[in-house]
Amino acid sequence: MFSLPSAATICDIQAQEPIQLLEAELKRGLKTYKKQKPPIYYLSYTYSELLVRNLWVYAGGVASKSEQEKRSLSVLARAGNTKMDNSRYLKGESKKDYVAYRSMPLGGKAFSIALWDATQRAVKSAQEVLSQVQSNNQVASERADDSPDFVMPPVSVYCRHEEYAPIDMQKIEDLLKEASLSVRGNKIVLGSSFDFFQKQGHTYFLDSNGTKLKTPVNLGRISYSVWGEKADGAYIERSNSYDIISPEGVPSLETLVADVKKSLAELEALFHAPDAEPLTAPAILKNKAMGVFVHEILGHRVEGHRQKIDSFGKTFTDKLGQQIMPSFLSIVDDPTLAYFKNIPLRGFYEYDDEGVKAQPVTIVENGVLKNFLMNASPIKGFPVSNGHGRASLGNSPVARMGVTRLVSSQSVSYEELEKMLIEKVKEQGKPYGFIIEDLSGGFTQTDSFAPQTFKLEPTLVYRVYPDGKKEVVRGADLVGTPLVSFSKILATADDDDVFNGNCGAESGWVPVSAIAPSVLLDSIEVEKTAKSSSKPPQLPPPFSLPERGNK
Amino acid sequence: MKKILFILVSFVTAFALQAAALPDNVYFRAMKDEMDRTLKEYRIEKGPELFYLAYKLEFNQKAEAGASFGKRFPFDQSENLRIMVQANVGSYKNDSLGFFSDTRRYKGITLASHTYEGIRQSLWQVSDRQILKQQKSYEEKQAYKKQKQIKKDNFYDFAPIKPSSYVEELTEFMPPAQDHLEKLAEKLSTQGKDYSFIENFETYILVSKTTKFFLNSEGSFSQYSVPKVMVIFRGKVRHEKGYVFYPQEVISFSALTPERETLLEQKADEFLQKLLVFHKAPMAEAYIGPVLFKPSEAGVLIARGLDLSNITPFLDSMNDTDPSASPLRDKVGMRIMSPGINVYDRPLLREYKGTKAGFSPMDDEGVLAQDLLLVSKGKLKNLPLSRRSGKRGKSNGHGFAFSDQPRENTTTLVVEPENPLSQKELEEKLLARCRELELEYCYIAHDDSLFERIDMKSGKREFVLGLDMTYSAKRALRDILATGDDFNLENGVIVPSLLVDEVELEPKEMIPERKPLIPRP
C-alpha cells in the first residue's frame, strides 16, 4: 500500500544545512552536558521548515487568510539515566518534563545562537525536573511498573526530499467562495464556514545517539461545516472534509457543491427531526464513525506509556493474550500506510518523533490483545519502541496512534448488515434500532479515579424500525464502557472507509487516520444530548430569502 | 512650545475633512441595510424597545518581518475584518448600559467575510446576541436600581445628540516589499553578532493599517485609516554577576521613510549600547530623594497619575461602588499637578515627531472628538465626557471602547509646561535640590528600569541597575519641581523630562542564574 510520491528523492543527509548546524551545536556541547551533575545523557533536536497556509471563507468572501513560512525547533533533553530521568510521570502530580521550543532565523550563525539558547533552556529545565522526580520518588508509593523511563532508540539515518507541486491558492479561494454561496437562501443555516489548511515542508531530526533524519511533511485539507439551532436550544451541524496532498486532490466545484447540498438536506432533516429518547438497542456504527469509535475507545487505552502511569485506568494492561473482542476482528496500527482506496492518510509517517522507524503493530489479533503501541518509554514485557512516539513541536513524544485499522475476517455487504440490524431489533423486541452515520467526537475517561466510561457525540443518527423505515433523530449521545462495547460487535460489512482527523493528547495535536468497516452492535446505549440555554436569533438570516439579492 | 502647536494645527487642518453623505462602499451598504432591517423587524415581546444600534468595522492589514543576529525569521502577512456591535434597549432616559452584570464577558466581536453578504451575516449574528444581552442587562439594572432605591434624576442615561460625520478617502495598503522589510530587519539585528555577552537580539518590523468604519442608528458615521509602523528591539543579556535581563524597545511611526530607516539604524546601535549597560553596570542601593524622569518614564508617570478614564461610575452588581471609575472624577477645580503645568487631550493628532499618536476623530458613541484643556496651571479644568456623563456635562467626544461599553477616556495627552527648562538647567536644578537635601547621589530615571546615578562629590555619572521605583503617581504630579523642553510622545503622552521632588528607589530581589554550560557560538 505504501508508495513514495513521485517527486520524492532520496537525498544526502550530510549535505543538508540544518543537519550540519544541528550536529555542530550538538557536538560542541555534548561532552560538557554529559559531565554535568546530573548528566544530560540524551539530547534530540527536531527542526521543521514549513509553509503554512490558512484560508477561511464564508458568504462568498474571505474572512481571514494567511500564508507563513514557519521554521521551528524543539529541543528535548534527558537528565539522569535511562532508569530514571526527567520524563517520568510524577505520582500525584502532573508530568513536568520540558521541551524548549522556538521560532528560528534562517541559517548561519544566527541559527546556531538560537539553537544554543534553546539547548541551554532545555538542559537547565531537564536537570531541575529530574530533581523533582527524585524527590517524588522518595515520598511516593511504589510504582506498579518499575520499567526504565527511556530506552535508547536504534540509530537511523534517512533523508528524503519532496518537491511539492504548487497549489493555486487563487483557485482554492475562488472554489471556496463559490461553494460558500450554495448555502445562500437556506433558512435553517445560521452559520457556515469553508476552510483550507495546508502544511508543506520537511522535518529534520538529530539526536545524541547518532540518528539523522529528513522527512517530508505534506498535509492539506479543504473542509466545510454548516450549522443551525432549534428554538429549544438544540444545536445541529453537518460537515465534510477532503484531504489533499497534491493539486489533483482538490475537489471540483460540482463535487463540492453537491456535497454541500447533501449536507444541507441532512441539516434540514435534523432540524425537523424528533428528539432522541434514551434507549438501549441494536445499532450499526457506520464505517467512519466506527473508525472514531476504535480510536477513542480502544486506541488511547493501548498506548504503551499509559500502562505504567499509576493514575491511568489500565483497562487493557493485564489483558494481554486475552480475548477482548470477537475472534473475527483484528486491529492494526500501521503508520507506513500512505493511502487507502486512493485517499491520502493523515496518520502516515516514515519515522516517529523519537527517530524510530514506523512499523505496523498488531494490537488485536483474532480478538486477542497482542501488543501495545510503544514509544521509547518501556513497560513490562515491551522493552523497546515500535515506532509510535509522536508529538507536535514543543511537546515531548508519548505513544500515539498513526493509522489505526479495524480488520474483519468475516464481512457481509452493507445491505445485509442493515437486514441483520432489523432482525436484531425484532428479536430483542425493541421499537427500533439505530444507524450511527457520523460522529463529531466525544470523550473517554481513562483516569483510575473515574469510571472507565465513554461518551460519543454523533451528528447524524437514524432510527430504523422493524418495517425497515428510517427516520433521522437528533440529540442522541452514545455512552458505554470499552470492554462491554467491543464484545457486543456481531458482524461487519465490507465497506471499509477512512476517517482522517487530528488527535489531541498530552504530546499535542498529531494527524491520525482510522480505517474501519461498518459494524453491527448487539446493543448500544443512547442518551439525550445537552441543549444550549441560548435561543436562536430572533430575525432570520439576512439572506434567507433569495429575493433579497446581493449587492 | 510654538513648535508643538504648529504641528498640532497642521494635522488638524490636513485631515479633518467633513462629509455629509454616507460613503458608497460595501462596508456602509452592508451596515446600513442590516441596521435598517434590524430596527424595522426586531421586536422585543413584553420588553424594552431596541432604540439604539451602532456598528463598527475594523479592517486590519499587516505585514511583519523579523530577524535575529542578521538572519531573517519567517515573514508574516495577514488581514482580517473585525465586526463589533453595540446595542441599547429601553430609552435615552433609562437604558440598558452603564451597568455591570454577569453578561459583561460577551464583547460583541467577530471576524467577518469580506463581502456585502458576509458583513451582513456577521452583523446579524452579533447584533442578535448583543440585543439579548442588553435585554437581560436592562431587566437586571431596573431590579438593581429598585433594590438600592436609586431615584430617577433629570439626566439622560444616554444623551441624545445630533448626527455628525467624519470621512476620509480610502487608500490602498501598500506595505514595503517583503524583501525590503526582511533586509531591513536583518540589517538592524546584525550588529549584535559581535557581542558575545548578548544571548539574544531580535528585531521585528510590523507595518499595518487599520481602516475603521462606524455607523449608528442616529445617522452618525465615520471612515478613516490609521497606518502604523512598529519596530521592536528585543534582547537577552547576562550581567557579569549572572543576572539575566530582557530589555525591549518599541518605536512606532505612522509610516516608514528612508530617513526613518536611517534613524532606526541609529536606534539599533543605541539599543546595543543599552545592552552593554545591562551587562556591566553596577547594582545600586536604596535611595529616597528627587528623581529626574526622562520622557519615557515621565510618560508612564503622567498616564498613571492623570487617570481620567471612566469618569462616570457604572452601577455594578458585584460591588457597591464601581472600582474602575476615575479617582479624579470629582476633583474639577482642584490642584492636581504642580502650578505652571497645562495638559491637553488632542484626539485629532495623528503623530508627533514621527511617532504615531492616538488619532480618534469620532468617538465610539458617534460624537466628533474635541480637543480639551484638562489641566490649567496645575488645576483640573475639564473632564473627558461621553454621552453617559450626565450631571458632569455634555459629551465632548470622549466615549471610547466599542467592544465593551463605551466609557470616558483620553486619547493623546499633551503636557505643556509654562516654563520649560533646557536640559542643562533642569539637571542643575536636580543637582541643586540633591545638594540641599545633602544626598550622596542623585538619580535620573530612563526606560527599562535603567537609572543614571550622579555622584554628588565627584560628579561622576554612571548607569546602575536593579532598582524599582516606588511612588504614588497622583502625589508625584503635585511634586513636579520643574520640566524640561525635550518633548517626546511616550506611552500616549507628549511629555518632556519631569523633575519630581521625592521618589523611593528600592533594590529588586534578583537571583543570579547559572551561566550557560557552553559559551555562545
Q: Which of B43, B70, B116 sits opposite A550 (nearest CB)?
A: B116
How far from the centroid of its chain's Cα atoms is residue A341's Cα? 20
Closest by Cβ to B111, choosing from A64, A116, A120? A64
Q: What is the DSSP string of A106-124?
A: SSHHHHHHHHHHHHHHHHH
Rg from Cα positions in chain B: 26
Please give the Cα distance from B306 to B476 (Å, whole number): 11
Q: Which of A399, A393, A408, A243 has its CA nearest to residue A316?
A: A399
Identify all chain B residues contacting A36, using CB atoms and an 8 Å cutoff: 517
- Site from B36, B71, B203 to mutate, A interface, most A CB atoms within 10 angstroms: B71
pLDDT score for A549: 41
Confidence at A483, pLDDT banded by 50, 70, 90: confident
Q: How confident is the model at residue B107 (pLDDT cuts 50, 70, 90)?
A: low
Question: In the 8-state DSSP scheme, what is residue A301?
Answer: G
Residue A368 CA neighbour count, 13 Å, CB half: 6
Q: Which residue has the higher pLDDT, A75 or A146?
A: A75
pTM: 0.89
pLDDT greater than 90 at residue B152: no
Question: In this predicted structure, what is the pLDDT of residue A499?
Answer: 95
What is the mean predicted confidence (pLDDT) over B59-82? 93
pLDDT above 90 as % of chain A: 76
Mean pLDDT, residues B470-490 = 95
Q: Compute how many other C-beta atoms are within 10 angstroms of the C-beta atom of residue B133.
A: 20
pLDDT digits (tens, 9 = 90+) for A303-343: 999 898 878 878 888 899 999 999 999 999 999 999 999 99
* Residue contacts between A and B (CB atoms, under 8 Å): 144
Instruction: Tell me if B517 and A33 make a contact (CB, 8 A cut-off).
Output: yes
Average pLDDT on A359-371 reads: 97
Report residue B439: phi and psi, to 5°. -90, 150
Rounded to whole angstroms, the Cα distance separating A541 from A188 reads 9
pLDDT digits (tens, 9 = 90+) for A192-202: 999 999 999 99
What are the cell numbers at B346?
A: 488632542
Q: How far apart are CA A377 and CA A309, in angstroms?
A: 11
Mean pLDDT is highest, among A527-531, B254-258, B397-401, for B397-401
Window 28-47 of A, Cβ < 8 Å to B: 28-29, 32-33, 36
Nearest CA to CA, how far is A95 from chain B (Å)? Answer: 24
Q: What is the mean pLDDT of residues A425-441?
A: 93
DSSP A416: H
Which residue does chain A place closest to B110, by CA atoms?
A63
When the pLDDT of each residue in chain B is averaged and rounded to a whole number, the result is 91
Interface contact flag, A62 B113, Cβ < 8 Å: yes
ipTM of this complex prediction, to 2 decimal places:
0.84
| Residues B455, B442: Cα–Cα separation, whole Å | 7
Q: What share of chain A is helix, strand, coil (3-state, %, to 5)?
A: 25, 40, 35
**Best of A32, A50, A64, A67 to disrupt the B interface by mutation (most B CBs within 10 Å)?**
A64
What pLDDT does A478 receive? Answer: 92
Q: CB distance A63–B80 less than 8 Å?
A: yes
Instruction: Assign A537 a pLDDT band (cuts: 50, 70, 90).
Output: confident
Which residues does chain A have within 8 Å of residue B30's beta carbon, measured at their own beta carbons? 551
Give the one of A68, A108, A190 whose C-beta lies nearest to B71's C-beta: A108
